[in-house]
Chains A and B, each alone.
Chain A
């Protein structure tokens, strides 16, 4: 099966890879690029574990072809931390015990980053609806929502 050359920018680095025409961006990130922090929970866009930011938009990487990412700027969980420290969102997820098993966590953190980039002061309802596409089966969402609220405050304080 012939492969396509795809050129992207991932977490600020130019990344070229070969992908097959029907390959999802998720499979390309995991299998061709080695970004294993992006998880597959369903493959059908129903769980959000594979969330990444493409050209400023939050998407499920399982619902996008790798070929569609030609020329795109992609942020994955590996690109969230700043320098040698964690991003405040990551800090707050840890402080609030907002993860139990942790497999949904990369998707939640990427989705939260996309939210707070757009809306620095979301209310609880906004947070819950924004994150409705990210399933967590462990926490009941309570501590996740609190972590997001606290991260928003922290970022506002930093700004």
Chain B
């Protein structure tokens, strides 16, 4: 048990130290980034005391590096800041759109890619986009740093691969090669403020003739975890990403989905709509690749 406490370590080592100490002593610690999920949870039924470890004061969680080969986005950078970065937006427009879709303007001021990922909701908007963009999670822990592909990060609804002494430092993305485009679309009943009923992120790379040489498709809200859909990508590679190829990719998404019926949508609805979203996002990604 114990009391509620709040700590804001200034270094990775300090943060890991706090987490390790809690893990070793059976005390509860909860990592805080933007807090837009965590504070809602604090109001919920589980009001048990814990130490809230705010990782926003750490340099590595706030760093944004756009390198020649690789882009690094600190786990705690608010979406609003990413969205204001024109270079990032031009390189990974689909990813930034997905971050921009999380909640309201107010939420944008706090919510981060890292928080969205670590909350590990099946409906998280940024995760399919990060999967499509070949994101890699950089995780810090008592054993040092390790890297995990985004598609392998979530293990179930609200669970992920991190252990009690670990936290997410940031995300790495390969800098997209020439003629690459990405896009993310989700479906919600209103125009804003809802949780995705289905989502699809697509990245395609074209050659000089407009033929797709590489593709990635991630889908969300249609399975216990966001999924990388290899069959959907395979349907696009070698094509000009035309309507027929997009329809095949969409069908692969429907096939990969194992959705549930809940207050936000039905099994049938999600299966259908994830295909529509994949098709539409694929067309946008293709057009971006052609324009790039």
Contacts and interface: CB of A to CB of B under 8 A. Distances in A.
Given a CB threshold of 8 Å, the question of whether A touches B is answered with yes
Interface of A: 1-2, 4, 20-22, 24, 43-46, 48, 51, 54, 57-60, 62-65, 67-68, 70, 111, 114-115, 129-134
Given A48-B104, A57-B80, A133-B105, A65 B6 contact: yes
Contacts of A22: 4, 6, 42, 52
A14 B4 CA distance: 26
Interface residues of B, number: 27
Interface stretch (B106-114, B136-144, B161-169, B211-219): B106-114
Nearest to A59: B109
A140 to B, nearest CB: 15
A58 B43 CA distance: 22
Nearest to B39: A63
Contacts of B3: 1-2, 21
B54 interface: yes
Which 6 pairs of residues, A with B, have the shortest CB-CB distance?
A133-B104, A132-B192, A57-B109, A21-B6, A67-B6, A60-B106
B54 A46 contact: no
Nearest to B51: A21
Interface string B41-56: 0110000000010101
B16 to A, nearest CB: 20
Given A4-B6, A21-B4, A129-B192, A63 B35 contact: yes
Nearest to B44: A44
Given A64-B39, A65-B32, A133-B192, 19 more contacts: A22-B6, A60-B106, A60-B110, A62-B39, A63-B35, A63-B36, A65-B39, A67-B8, A67-B52, A70-B8, A111-B105, A111-B106, A129-B105, A129-B192, A130-B105, A132-B105, A132-B193, A133-B106, A133-B107
Interface of B: 3-6, 8, 32, 35-36, 39-40, 42-43, 52, 54, 56, 78, 80, 103-107, 109-110, 191-193
Contact of A46 (B42, B105, B193): B193
23 contacts: A4-B6, A21-B6, A22-B4, A22-B6, A24-B39, A44-B40, A45-B40, A45-B104, A45-B106, A45-B107, A48-B106, A54-B109, A57-B110, A60-B36, A60-B110, A62-B39, A63-B35, A63-B107, A63-B110, A64-B39, A65-B54, A68-B8, A68-B35
Contacts of B107: 45, 60, 63, 133
B192 to A, nearest CB: 4
Interface of chain A, main secondary structure:
mixed
A35 B42 CA distance: 23
A133 to B, nearest CB: 2
A36 to B, nearest CB: 19
Given A59-B106, A59-B109, A114-B105, A43 B4 contact: no
A43 B43 contact: yes
Contacts of A24: 39
